[in-house]
C-alpha cells in the first residue's frame, strides 16, 4: 500500500509546483523590461607554443639520467604530471615513439661493451648479467614516470607492447640476439653447469639470474634448453657406459641416485621448472634405462646373496622409475629364486640340511619383499611361482624329501599366513630365572596330526603351562588343550667359560640341556630316565647337541652316533662366533616303508591334480585334439610330468566316462557332462 | 489284439492248403504260390523256431546255442556267429533272448534254419565293408565283456581280437605275443577301439607311428617292445 500513496503524493506535488511557477512568470512579464548585454567570448586557455617540446625535453633528460645512472634534475612528481599533461594534450602517440627511440639508442650503445674479445667466459657472463640487471632497474624507473602513458594510450592499443615489454624487446634485439653475445652467453652457462656436474662449486645465483633473463626474453626453450638436454644426454650416456664398467653395482646405483637428486636440485635452484621432466627422463634413460639388464646380470645375485637390504631397496626404487624396470627386475628375481632354490634342492649331499635351508631362504625372500619391494604383490606372486618350479625340479629324485618339504612348507605357510594361530604370552615374574612362555594355539584339523608325546617337564614349565591352561580354558570353555611337545622350542641363556650365549633350541634339546644345571655328567640312560624322551628321538637330540655343528655337550666316547652307555658332559670350552646360535634338530631318517608311502602320496596327489586339470580344460573346451590338450596341460601343471603319464590319466578319464574319444578321429576328445 | 493277428495268417494257410487240395486246376500255379508262402517270412514260424532251441525258457542258452550252431553248420567260434549276434544286437555272449531273436531274425527275414544258412554268406560279406566292420568290432567288446566289468579280461580279448583281426592284420601274431607277456590283465574299450585304428593306419614296419600322438599307452608300449625285439 505504501508505495502507491507516496506516488500519488508526488504527482500532486509536481502539479502544484508547475502551477506556481507558471503563475509567477505570468505575473512578472508585463512589469520588468530587461536589457540584453552580449559579452565577448573568453579565449580558451592555450598552451605555450613550445610546451610540448619543452616538456619532452625535460622527460628526455630524465630518461638519459636514469640510463646513465646520474641524478635527475626534476622532481619525479613533476615529471609524472608532465606525462599526464602531454597525454591529455593528445600527443601520446608521439610521446611513445620518442620514448622508444631514446631507449633503443641506449640499447644499441650497450652492445659495444661486449665486443672486447679478451673477456673470459665467467667475467663475460657477469657483465651480461650486470647489463641485464641495470636494464631492468632502469625500465622500472622509466615506466614509473611514464605510467600514465602506459596505462592509457598503450593499454588501449593492443598492438603496442607495454613499456616494460618494449624494454625486453629492445634488449633482446640489440643485446642478446647479437650472435657473439648469444653464443658466448649460452656456452658460458653450459660450461658452468658442466663444471658443477663435475664437482666444482659455481656461482649459482649468477646462473639463476641469467637463465631467468632467458626465460623473460622468451629465449630459454629455443636457445638454451635444447642444447642443454643434448649435452646432458651425451654426458650421461658416456658416464653410464664408463661407470658400469668401473663400479660395482651397489656403488653404481648410489651414484645414479645421487645424480638424480642433483639434477632435481638443479631444477629447483636455477633451471626453469619446465625442464624438470625431460631432464630427469634423460638421466633415467642414460644411467638406468640403457643398463637395466646389465645391472641385474652383474649385481643382483651378489646383492641378494649378501642380503644387502638397503641396496636392494634403492634398486627397487630406481627400477620403479623407468619403464619396464619393474618387469625386468621381476624376471631376474624369479630366476634368482629358482636358481638358488634348485641349488639347495638338487644336490643330494645337502638333503639333510635341505629343509632348514629352504625355510631360511623363504624367510629371507619374504623379508626382502617386505622391506625392499614394499610388499609388491607381483613380487610375491613370482616368488611363489618360482618356489613351485624349483621344488618340482627334484621330482625324479626320491620324492620323500619333497614330501617332507612340502609338508613343512605348508606348515610354515599356514603359520605365517593362512590360519593366524594366535599367540599368547605369559611371563612369570616370581621365578628368578624369569621364564617367558609363548603359546601358539593351533586349531586341530587345519594342521597335520601330531601324536602327543609325553615328556618330563621341569616344575617351572609345568607351572606356567598350568597358568596358561587355566587362563585359556577360562576364556574358551568347552575346548580341549593339548600340548605338542614335539613342536616346542626355546631360547636358553648359557654361560660357558669364556662366553655368554643364547641357544635357540627345541623343547627336547632344552630338557636335555637343563639337566646340566644340576650336574656335570650324565649317561644316555640317565638322560632318558630324567626327560622321558622316546629312545630314537633322544638319540637324535643328543646327536644334535654333541655331534653337530655347535657342540655344546661333550660325548664320551667320541663318535658320530649315540650308543647305549655313552656319557655326556657340558662343554665349558664351547666357542662360537655368533651370540645367538640355532642348533638344528637332526632330521629323522625315513624308513624304507615311509619312503614308499611318501612317494605313493606324492604320486597320488599329482594324479588328482592332473585329472582335475584335464577335466577343467575339457569342460571349458568341450572338444579338443590330443596335442592341444597336452600342451594346455603343460601350461597349467607346475610339476614335471611325462607325456606318457598324461596319456595314462587321459585314458583313465575316458575309462571313467569323463570324456570320450571321437569315434572317427581318434586324436580328438569330447567332454562328457 | 495280437492273438487275432497271429491267427489270421494261420487261418489263411489252412484255406490255401484246402484250396490246393480241392482245386487241381490251379495246382501248378498253387505250388509256386505255396513255395512263395513258405519263403515269405512268418513271425509264427520264427517264434516256433526260437523255442526249438530255447526249450521252455525265453532265452537260447549254451546248450541250445550249440545245437543251433550245429544245425546251421557253423562252429560257435566262427566269426559269422559274431556278425549274427551283432545283427540280433545280442547283449550276452552265448545267449539269444526271445526279443533279440524276433527283432533280429525279422530284420534278416529268417524263420528257418535253412533260410539262415542261406543268409550266412551275406553276413560274412558284411565284414568286408569297413564301416560295418568297425561297428561289429566295437560291438564285439561290449558283447564279450562280463556285464559287471567295464573292461574285457585279457584272455577273452585275445580270442576276440584273433577272431576279428587274426586273418587280416599281419602284425596280429606279434601283438598277441606282446599281450601274452604284458602285465595288462584287462583291456578297456578305448584301448580296444584304438587297436583297430592302429591295425588300419599303421605301416607294418611301424614307420608312421607317432609316439607323441594320441595313441593309448598300451600301444606306445607295444611299439617300443616290438622295436626292441627287432633290434635284438
Please write the tens of the pLDDT for every residue from A138-163. Answer: 999 999 999 999 988 888 888 889 99
A657's CB contacts (< 8 A; 6+ apart) are: A672
- Flag if B194 and A666 touch (Cβ within 8 Å): yes
The answer to whether residue A452 neighbours chain B at the CB level (below 8 Å) is no
- List the single residue in A with minimal CA-CA distance to B218: A648
Are residues A462 and A430 part of one domain? yes
Residue A532 located in a structural domain: yes
pTM: 0.47
- Flag if A655 and B190 touch (Cβ within 8 Å): yes
Interface of A with B in 619-638 (CB under 8 A): 625-627
Residue A108 located in a structural domain: yes
Residue A190 located in a structural domain: no
Distance CA(A170)–CA(A164), nearest Å, equals 10
The pair phi, psi for residue B59, each rounded to 5°, is -150, 140
The answer to whether residue A655 neighbours chain B at the CB level (below 8 Å) is yes
Query: What's the pLDDT at A332?
Result: 93
Distance CA(A461)–CA(A490), nearest Å, equals 11
Whichever domain contains A440, its CATH number is: 4.10.1030
Q: Which residues of B fall within a CB distance of 8 Å from A666?
A: 193-194, 197, 214-215
Distance from CA of A656 to the nearest CA of B (A): 9
Residue A334 located in a structural domain: yes
Q: Which residues of A fall within a CB distance of 8 Å from B217?
A: 644, 647-648, 651
Residue (of A290, A300, A190, A193) closest to A250 by Cα position:
A300
The answer to whether residue B142 neighbours chain A at the CB level (below 8 Å) is no
The answer to whether residue B193 neighbours chain A at the CB level (below 8 Å) is yes
* Residues of the domain holding A154: 51-177
Domain end: A414, A431, A455, which one? Answer: A414
Please write the tens of the pLDDT for every residue from A268-291. Answer: 999 998 999 999 999 999 999 999
- How many alpha carbons lie under 13 Å from residue A338 in its C-beta half-sphere? 13
Are residues A84 and A59 part of one domain? yes
Size of interface A-B (CB pairs under 8 A): 39
Are residues A427 and A409 part of one domain? no
Residue A295 located in a structural domain: no
Domain end: A414, A444, A460, which one? Answer: A414
Are residues A108 and A168 part of one domain? yes
Are residues A541 and A440 part of one domain? no
Give A422's pLDDT tier (boundaries 50, 70, 90).
Answer: very low
The answer to whether residue A600 neighbours chain B at the CB level (below 8 Å) is no
Residue showing cell 636455477: A270
Task: Find which of B133, B190, B213, B220 to mutate to test the A interface (most A CBs within 10 Å of its CB).
Answer: B190
Distance CA(B110)–CA(B78), nearest Å, equals 19
Are residues A163 and A60 part of one domain? yes
Taking the CB of residue A401, how many other CB atoms lie within 10 A of it? 20
The number of folded domains in chain A is 6
- Flag if A661 and B220 touch (Cβ within 8 Å): no
Are residues A158 and A140 part of one domain? yes
Please write the tens of the pLDDT for every residue from A376-392. Answer: 999 999 988 888 777 76
Are residues A153 and A62 part of one domain? yes
Distance from CA of A605 to the nearest CA of B (A): 21
Domain end: A393, A414, A435, which one? Answer: A414
**ipTM, 2 dp:** 0.75
Are residues A59 and A167 part of one domain? yes
Burial label, A277 (beta-carbon count in 10 A; 0-12, 13-18, 19+): exposed
Whichever domain contains A117, its CATH number is: 1.20.1310.10
Query: What's the pLDDT at A327?
Result: 92
Whichever domain contains A665, its CATH number is: 1.10.10.10
The pair phi, psi for residue A668, each rounded to 5°, is -120, 140
- Flag if A647 and B190 touch (Cβ within 8 Å): no
Are residues A149 and A121 part of one domain? yes
The answer to whether residue A665 neighbours chain B at the CB level (below 8 Å) is no
* Cβ atoms of residues A82 and A72 within 8 Å: no
Query: What's the pLDDT at A467?
Result: 79
The pLDDT > 70 percentage for chain A reads 83
Are residues A542 and A479 part of one domain? no
Out of B151, B189, B214, the one facing A666 most closely (by C-beta) is B214
Residue A83 located in a structural domain: yes
Distance CA(B16)–CA(B36), nearest Å, equals 12
- List the single residue in A with minimal CA-CA distance to B212: A643
Q: Which residues of B fall within a CB distance of 8 Å from A646?
A: none
Residue A205 located in a structural domain: no
The pair phi, psi for residue A214, each rounded to 5°, is -60, -40
Distance from CA of A553 to the nearest CA of B (A): 56
- Flag if B190 and A644 touch (Cβ within 8 Å): no
Interface of A with B in 178-237 (CB under 8 A): none
Query: What's the pLDDT at A589?
Result: 54
B50's CB contacts (< 8 A; 6+ apart) are: B60, B96, B98, B101, B102, B105
Distance from CA of B50 to the nearest CA of A (A): 35
Are residues A479 and A504 part of one domain? no
Burial label, B188 (beta-carbon count in 10 A; 0-12, 13-18, 19+): buried
Instruction: Beginning with the edge strand found earlier in the chain, give each strand of the sheet holding A659-661 in spatial order.
Output: A623-625, A668-671, A659-661
Please write the tens of the pLDDT for every residue from A166-218. Answer: 999 999 999 888 888 899 999 999 999 999 999 889 999 999 999 999 999 99
Distance CA(A285)–CA(A235), nearest Å, equals 12
Residue A625 located in a structural domain: yes
Amino acid at each position: 500500500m505504501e508505495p502507491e500513496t507516496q506516488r500519488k503524493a508526488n504527482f500532486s506535488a509536481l502539479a502544484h509546483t508547475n502551477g506556481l511557477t507558471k503563475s509567477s512568470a505570468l505575473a512578472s512579464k508585463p512589469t520588468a523590461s530587461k536589457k540584453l548585454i552580449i559579452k565577448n567570448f573568453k579565449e580558451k586557455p592555450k598552451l605555450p607554443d613550445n610546451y610540448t617540446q619543452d616538456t619532452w625535453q625535460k622527460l628526455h633528460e630524465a630518461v638519459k639520467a636514469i640510463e646513465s645512472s646520474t641524478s635527475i634534475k626534476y622532481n619525479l612528481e613533476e615529471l609524472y604530471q608532465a606525462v599526464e599533461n602531454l597525454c591529455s594534450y593528445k600527443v601520446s602517440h608521439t610521446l611513445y615513439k620518442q620514448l622508444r627511440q631514446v631507449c633503443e639508442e641506449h640499447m644499441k650503445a650497450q652492445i659495444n661493451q661486449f665486443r672486447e674479445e679478451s673477456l673470459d667466459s665467467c667475467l663475460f657472463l657477469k657483465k651480461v648479467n650486470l647489463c641485464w640487471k641495470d636494464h631492468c632497474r632502469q625500465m622500472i624507473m622509466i615506466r614509473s614516470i611514464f605510467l600514465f602513458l602506459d596505462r592509457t594510450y598503450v593499454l588501449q592499443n593492443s598492438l603496442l607492447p607495454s613499456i616494460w615489454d618494449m624494454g625486453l624487446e629492445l634488449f633482446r634485439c640489440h643485446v642478446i640476439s647479437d650472435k657473439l653475445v648469444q653464443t658466448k652467453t649460452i656456452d658460458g652457462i653450459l660450461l658452468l653447469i658442466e663444471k658443477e656436474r663435475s664437482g666444482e662449486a659455481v656461482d649459482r645465483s649468477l646462473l639463476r639470474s641469467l637463465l631467468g633473463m632467458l626465460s623473460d626474453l622468451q629465449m630459454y626453450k629455443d636457445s638454451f634448453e635444447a642444447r642443454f638436454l643434448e649435452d646432458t644426454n651425451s654426458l650421461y650416456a658416456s658416464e653410464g657406459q664408463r661407470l658400469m664398467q668401473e663400479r660395482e653395482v651397489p656403488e653404481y646405483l648410489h651414484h645414479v641416485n645421487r645424480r638424480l637428486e642433483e639434477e632435481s636440485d638443479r631444477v629447483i635452484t636455477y633451471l626453469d621448472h619446465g625442464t624438470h621432466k625431460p631432464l630427469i627422463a634423460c638421466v633415467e634413460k642414460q644411467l638406468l634405462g640403457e643398463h637395466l639388464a646389465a645391472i641385474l646380470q652383474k649385481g643382483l645375485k651378489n646383492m641378494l646373496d649378501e642380503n644387502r637390504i638397503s641396496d636392494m631397496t634403492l634398486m627397487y626404487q630406481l627400477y620403479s622409475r623407468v619403464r619396464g624396470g619393474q618387469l625386468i627386475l621381476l624376471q631376474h628375481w624369479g630366476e634368482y629364486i629358482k636358481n638358488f632354490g634348485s641349488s639347495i634342492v638338487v644336490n643330494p649331499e645337502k638333503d639333510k640340511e635341505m629343509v632348514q635351508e629352504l625355510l631360511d631362504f623363504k624367510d629371507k625372500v619374504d623379508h626382502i619383499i617386505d622391506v625392499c619391494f614394499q610388499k609388491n604383490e607381483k613380487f610375491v606372486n613370482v616368488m611363489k611361482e618360482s618356489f613351485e618350479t624349483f621344488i618340482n625340479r627334484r621330482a625324479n629324485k626320491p620324492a620323500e624329501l619333497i614330501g617332507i618339504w612340502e609338508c613343512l612348507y605348508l606348515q610354515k605357510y599356514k603359520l605365517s599366513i593362512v590360519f593366524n594361530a594366535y599367540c599368547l604370552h605369559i611371563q612369570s615374574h616370581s621365578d628368578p630365572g624369569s621364564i617367558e612362555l609363548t603359546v601358539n594355539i593351533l586349531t586341530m584339523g587345519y594342521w597335520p596330526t601330531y601324536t602327543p608325546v609325553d615328556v618330563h617337564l621341569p616344575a617351572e614349565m609345568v607351572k606356567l603351562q598350568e597358568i596358561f591352561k587355566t587362563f585359556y580354558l577360562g576364556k574358551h570353555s568347552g575346548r580341549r588343550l593339548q600340548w605338542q611337545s614335539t613342536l616346542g622350542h626355546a631360547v636358553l641363556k648359557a654361560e660357558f667359560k669364556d662366553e655368554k650365549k643364547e641357544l635357540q633350541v627345541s623343547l627336547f634339546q632344552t630338557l636335555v640341556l637343563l639337566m646340566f644345571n644340576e650336574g656335570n655328567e650324565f649317561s644316555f640312560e640317565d638322560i632318558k630316565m630324567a626327560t622321558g624322551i622316546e629312545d630314537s628321538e633322544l638319540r637324535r637330540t643328543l646327536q644334535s647337541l654333541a655331534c653337530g655343528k655347535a657342540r655344546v655337550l661333550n660325548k664320551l666316547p667320541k663318535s658320530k652316533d649315540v650308543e647305549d652307555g655313552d656319557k655326556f658332559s657340558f662343554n665349558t670350552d664351547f666357542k662360537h662366533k655368533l651370540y645367538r646360535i640355532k642348533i638344528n634338530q637332526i632330521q629323522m631318517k625315513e624308513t624304507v616303508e615311509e619312503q614308499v608311502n611318501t612317494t605313493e602320496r606324492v604320486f597320488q596327489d599329482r594324479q588328482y591334480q592332473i585329472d582335475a586339470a584335464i577335466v577343467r580344460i575339457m569342460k571349458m573346451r568341450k572338444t579338443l585334439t590330443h596335442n592341444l590338450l597336452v600342451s594346455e596341460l603343460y601350461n597349467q601343471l607346475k610339476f614335471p610330468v611325462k607325456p606318457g603319464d598324461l596319456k595314462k590319466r587321459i585314458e583313465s578319464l575316458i575309462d571313467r566316462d569323463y570324456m570320450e574319444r571321437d569315434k572317427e578321429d581318434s586324436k580328438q576328445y569330447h567332454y562328457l557332462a | 489284439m495280437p492273438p487275432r493277428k497271429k491267427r489270421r495268417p494261420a487261418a489263411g494257410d489252412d484255406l490255401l492248403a484246402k484250396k490246393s487240395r480241392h482245386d487241381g486246376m490251379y495246382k501248378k500255379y498253387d505250388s509256386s504260390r505255396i513255395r512263395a508262402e513258405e519263403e515269405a517270412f512268418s513271425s509264427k514260424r520264427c517264434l516256433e523256431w526260437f523255442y526249438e532251441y530255447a526249450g521252455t525258457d525265453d532265452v537260447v542258452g549254451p546248450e541250445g546255442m550249440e545245437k543251433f550252431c550245429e544245425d546251421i553248420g557253423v562252429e560257435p567260434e566262427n566269426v559269422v556267429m559274431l556278425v549274427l549276434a551283432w545283427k540280433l544286437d545280442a547283449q550276452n555272449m552265448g545267449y539269444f533272448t526271445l526279443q533279440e531273436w524276433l527283432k533280429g531274425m525279422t530284420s534278416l527275414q529268417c524263420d528257418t534254419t535253412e533260410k539262415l544258412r542261406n543268409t550266412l554268406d551275406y553276413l560274412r560279406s558284411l565284414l568286408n565293408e569297413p564301416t560295418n566292420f568297425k561297428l561289429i568290432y566295437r560291438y564285439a567288446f561290449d558283447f564279450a565283456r562280463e556285464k559287471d566289468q567295464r573292461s574285457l579280461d585279457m584272455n577273452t580279448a585275445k580270442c576276440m581280437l584273433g577272431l576279428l583281426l587274426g586273418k587280416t592284420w599281419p602284425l596280429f601274431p606279434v601283438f598277441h605275443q606282446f599281450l601274452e607277456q604284458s602285465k595288462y590283465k584287462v583291456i578297456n574299450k578305448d584301448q580296444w577301439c584304438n587297436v583297430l585304428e592302429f591295425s588300419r593306419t599303421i605301416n607294418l614296419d611301424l614307420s608312421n607311428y607317432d609316439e607323441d600322438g594320441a595313441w593309448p599307452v598300451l600301444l606306445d608300449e607295444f611299439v617300443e617292445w616290438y622295436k626292441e625285439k627287432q633290434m635284438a
